[in-house]
Homo-oligomer: A and B are copies of this chain.
């Protein structure tokens, strides 16, 4: 069986398992206070080019969204998000569970416009009764979006500016960030990306890790007693090393040998002002395993799209990242059964279905060949 069902069908990138294995017997303190977590945070600060960013690791994406949003919002605030946003639709009400409203905004291809945000907020404050309503307190977007599309640098700048205008944070869900940044349609660097938002997370689960997301607070804006908030929400892993070791491996500069152990490539875990720290050199992010994973996924997705088009399959949504949405005859889908897995998206009509084919670091040319043969 070959699977394009999602970008989390395989386990971890072998490099990550290798480091987990190598470091397995080292006794380490718990709850994310170990040296691998420290190293990984330093590597990430270097990679995103913000020396004083705060980095925190959480096991999964929905948990991350719940924690970031509920700790950064005030009691009276809700979060603005696309009506197709992950927090709006596919998190079983995890944001509402924390007592906050997701305020849905109209979108195009999964993206919300700065003007839509501006209009909403201006309208809100012009309403004399707004003290009776949920205050807009944050803008949530995802990059890539749930539809695999990407905001342009200009679009992000506009969102950044409207958030500045109203003094509210811009939060970017980067569950698939590797595939976004590695896309040929991406017109910004990770540093530019990080500067344009107030907080974002670097997705691990869908980009090569067994689990784990790295939240980056870019402006000294990590909520107070963050560890307590994580614990209170049930999300504090005793063996924080599981996340630290994986992100350490993902973000240490890409190794030519297998060594990414503690002694090598060590960034300054301190103040971040060390001139020699990795990440201050131009182009380092492109040397990370994380970027490499993104590149591989994108290359596979470009080949995948070509196969789909060559087979005359109708593209449902044009996307430059690792998810391809197509509309297919149910009879044709029937032929894939038992050979190729894909993701169900929605019924188009009685005879057609919108499906998703996703690639990842684990997709191989053979997988694509199998798909091409069966289609």
Contacts and interface: CB of A to CB of B under 8 A. Distances in A.
Number of identical monomers bound together in the oligomeric complex: 4
A318 interface: no
Contact of A76 (B92, B131, B135): B92
Nearest to A14: B24
Contacts of A65: 234
A91 interface: yes
A8 B91 CA distance: 30
Nearest to A130: B228
Q: Which of A63, A233, A341 has the most CB of B within 10 A?
A: A233
Contacts of A288: none
A8 B238 contact: yes
A91 B133 CA distance: 6
Contacts of A234: 60, 62-67, 91, 94, 97, 233-235
B96 A96 contact: yes
A102 B132 CA distance: 16
**Interface footprint category on A:** 35 or more
A77 to B, nearest CB: 9
Contacts of A70: 75
Interface in A49-102: 59-67, 70-71, 74-76, 78, 89-97, 99-102
A349 B14 CA distance: 50
9 contacts: A6-B238, A8-B30, A59-B237, A70-B75, A76-B92, A76-B229, A90-B129, A92-B231, A206-B238
